[in-house]
Amino acid sequence: MFKNAVQLFEIFGFKLRVDPSWLLIAALIVWSLSTSYFPEMLPAQTATFYTTLGIVAMLGMFVSLVLHELAHSVVARAYGLEIGGITLFIFGGVAELEEEPHTPKSEFQIAIAGPLMSLALAGLFYLASGPFIDGDNIGAIGAVLGYLALINLVLAVFNLVPAFPLDGGRVFRAAIWQLTGDMVRATRISSRIGTFFGLFLMVTGAFAVFGGQGIGGVWQILIGFFVINASSGSYQNLLIKNSLRGKSARMLMSDLLWTVDADATIAQLVDDVMLRRGVSFVPVLSQGRLFGYVDAAGVRSIDRAEWPIRRVAEVAIPAGSDNTVTPDTPLDEVFKRLGAGTRRKLMVANADKLIGVISLSDVVHYLALQQEIGTTMKTGH
């Protein structure tokens, strides 16, 4: 999901990563606090002083977000769910669940854990700020702790909005799931509410921009856009997982194979296989065993004049776990691997015996057909 995220460290076995987009929001927080919040709370101080407090407060918010997502992750792990890691990005943080919760109860408890953690942090920071506040006299420590109490309260309240995929939307989905016994239906309903909430944010953000609020309105529009995309994307991902569940690569692989021997020349590969058969991805065999594959990019890496004397083995990419699956590999895992990188085809093999090839287009076509049939059945046509 976050291909450019950088891992910082592990905490309780969870990998903590930061997407480069987080740097933008971190810089905006420091700028906003050092030019507005802290000068108002603590007048007549230097710019360096305000900037220092802004950095400290930003780091406090960073820790708060990590603890919020860590609460989700710990509860999810208690229910046996795999967590890909915790990633902070421009719109906050996310605990990357590898699979959906199995029951409404687990969904509810995983979702509510984050807001409860934020509420607890808000209370702790508020209590901790007390000794540093004397009437209207607010010390530097009191100002920082007060900000952290406020931001954690805002984080908790915003996440409790019943709009999927916010935590409140997941709590709402758990309630519908419990009532109907249908997770897909519950997700569809909560996803629609998420879409409406995103539209609301965008419309009100646009009014704010026209009303002269500038960056605040733009930020609201961006958050609304993110909520809409995340909401619809989560629902589509669930439909895909349901369509692929229980199926393996064997079901969609093509066993109509055009192969080439590793000892053949590149000229033979191009003339006898690629051009004659109209293919650009060719599995390579050596003594009947799977050796790897060669594609058009590999061929182009060799000067044309050398094609008659250079061997296919020289440009073949060896078979490995990154480009080969077994026929029993779950179809959802195949789809994930095909969609994660630039490779659009995988070889299917038992040990070192090639038995087929499966492509992203095969899976996408199957999903489109599933959706078309499902729509037709629902409309009664």
Residue whose entry in the numeric block shows the structure tokens 């060799």: 302
| C-alpha–C-alpha distance, residues 57 and 51, integer Å | 10
**Band (283; pLDDT cuts 50, 70, 90):** very high
Half-sphere exposure for 367 (CA within 13 Å, toward CB): 19
Axis crossing angle, helix 21-32 with helix 47-78, rounded to the nearest 10: 130
134 vs 188: which has the higher pLDDT: 188
Rounded alpha-carbon distances, angstroms, from residue 4 to 1, 61, 88, 229: 9, 22, 12, 19
Residue 14 near residue 30, CB atoms below 8 Å: no
Question: What does the CA dihedral 315, 321, 323, 325 come to, rounded to 10 degrees?
Answer: 140
How confident is the model at residue 341, as a pLDDT? 65
User: Considering all CA atoms of the chain, what is the largest pairwise distance in Å, rounded to the nearest integer?
Assistant: 88
If you average pLDDT over residues 29-42, what whole number do you get?
A: 88
Question: What's the average model confidence in pLDDT over 67-80?
Answer: 92
For residues 359 and 335, what is the distance between their CA atoms, to the nearest angstrom?
A: 9
Q: For 189-215, write each residue's pLDDT tens digit.
A: 888 888 898 898 888 888 887 876 666
Mean pLDDT of 82-111: 84
pLDDT at residue 375 above 50? no
Q: Taking Cα atoms as reference points, which of 220, 213, 170, 176 lies closest to residue 198?
A: 220
The closest alpha carbon to 1, from 344, 336, 345, belongs to 336
Note whether 65 and 25 are within 8 A (CB): no
Cα(357)–Cα(348) distance, rounded to whole angstroms?
5
72, 155 Cβ separation under 8 angstroms? no
Of residues 250 and 364, which shows the higher confidence score?
Answer: 250
Q: Which is it for the CA torsion 138, 139, 140, 144, positive or negative? A: negative
